Amino acid sequence: MGSFLSTILFTLISTTLSGSILAALFLWLSPKLGKRFQPRAKVLLWNLICLRFLAFMRLSIPLPFIGMRKSQVVISTIEAMPAMAASKPVISQTVSKPDYVLYLICALSSLWFFITAGIFIYRIWKSKQEKYLFFQCSIPVKDEILQNLCSELCREMKIKQKINIRESEYFSSPLVFGIRKAFLLIPEEYGSKEELEMMLRHELAHLKNHDIESRLLHWLVCCLYWFNPIVYMMQKRAEAEIELACDYDILSQKSMDYRSQYQQIVLRSLVKQVEQRTAVNFAGSCSKKEIFYRLSQMTDMTVRKKGRWLVFLMALVVFMACLTYRNFIREDTITLTSLSAPYRFLQGCLINTEVDLQCPIENPIEILWPHVYEKSPDKVRHRIVYIAPEEDVPAYAPVEGKIIYVGFWKHEAMGYSVIIQNKHLIVAVGHLKKDAINVSVGEKVERGQQIGLAGMSGMANVVCAEILVRDSYGNPVDLTGFTSGKCQGMPFKRVTYNLTN
């Protein structure tokens, strides 16, 4: 549970950082882009930024080895255990120290979860209340002339969605709502037919361009990232751009007289909105500065570009922001498919972690150090070979964890291997006998549980079992001093290392 909550917090922080950078940059560029590109392109750009906030997955791309982050390793004194029968492998109980940083992460994640759930419940309840109010204060339209006008506009604007038309005396201008079932509210007193047609075109433009879905997207971002002030600025600016986009779609290629008449209708709607205190209607709900800017754009005859290449460029930037470039070694990428997210998040923080590693076989007659990590500057010894006293010696799991690979691992010349992902380490046990492995991928094993028999697969010329240890970053863990010489029983050592960046 703690790992799950830590993963949530890590994902939220990494996502909100990259998304906030994109949103802040676009807030700064928005006035400049508005002079050259259509408002609809800017609405699509805001939607792409919202998708970045909602894209919690982080696609990981392994790169060829170009460097190494060293993990400081401190190994404590050797502990030994008495010899045990092969049928009763020793499993020691590790007493872990309290991780107060992890407790803090869990507390913050829980706080975010409960506040987010509360906001979701409140907003859903409020939307249900508004929908109920709309139905209570409106009745279905029976005027055939009005129904025919809406049908003609839908055919002209190529809107295939079925629209339920209702009228109400409590609204000063048309209003559209609903996603699966679209509803159009029309005021009982709407002036001339030309004025009503202009207002209906504006509301139907919202349906045609899926602006209701865009607002839902902005709503979700504000619910999830309630702690980020940039998302509220983004939502406010995106709402203004949606209204500008509908105005531009209606007024493009129209005369100045038509634009002036449309401008007067919007002004009258704003006055009625203030008088009736209606939160949402045809005129929108904007600040004074945004209203003046919107009115000035109505009489602007400048032809703007659609900005398709700009939308494509933003989509590419958002996709790149979802990627995580990791500097792994190519041959080890198979063992690093699902690393521990909390420890990736805590890079730079000092975490003391204790892990008990158990000898993979009983009573090895010899322990060899044939390999060093040649790609590291300090020649880290991360592999140990345990030579078995005889054939068919049971091989045990050095740590508890989840099996992430079973098979012939040719990259390390370790033959048939079992790779275990622990909470802190990734441990591979190699040179096992081909048909004697009794575990499978996805299975959870305990420390000391038998996973197969020692063998001679790979490049081994004697019956043995070899272990290879990595930390959560994929870096080699130095096992120098782990054990040496001939061992009695099942020796093990508690490895204490500081996970630093």
3-state secondary structure 180-196: CCEEEEEECCCCCHHHH
Residue with the bigger pLDDT between 311 and 207: it is 207
- Residue 362's pLDDT is 80
Candidates 311, 317, 313; CA nearest to 18 is: 317
Tell which phi-psi region holds residue 76, choosing left (phi > 0), alpha (psi between -120 and 50) or beta. Answer: beta
CB 280 within 8 A of CB 175: yes
Residues 6+ apart with CB under 8 A from 418: 397, 403, 405, 406, 428, 429, 432, 437, 439, 451, 452
456: helix, strand or coil:
coil
Q: Which pLDDT band holds residue 451 (cuts at 50, 70, 90)? A: very high
pLDDT, average across residues 106-113: 84
Lookup: tokens for 234: 């983004």
Out of 223-227, 335-339, 438-442, pick the least confident. 335-339
Convert the pLDDT of each residue in 125-166 to its tens digit: 998 888 888 888 888 887 777 888 888 888 888 888 888 888
Give residue 102's pLDDT: 64
Return d(Cα 496, Cα 418) in angstroms, integer.
Answer: 23
Structure-block tokens of residue 30:
């928005």
Q: Taking the model in full, what pTM does it have?
A: 0.58
DSSP-derived secondary structure letter, 493: E
Asked which of 25-34, 50-59, 294-303, 358-367 is least confident by mean pLDDT, the reply is: 50-59
- Every domain of the chain and the residues it spans: 351-499
Looking at domain 351-499, its CATH class is mainly beta
3-state secondary structure 81-146: CCCCCCCCCCCCCCCCCCCHHHHHHHHHHHHHHHHHHHHHHHHHHHHHHHHHHHHHCCEECCCHHH
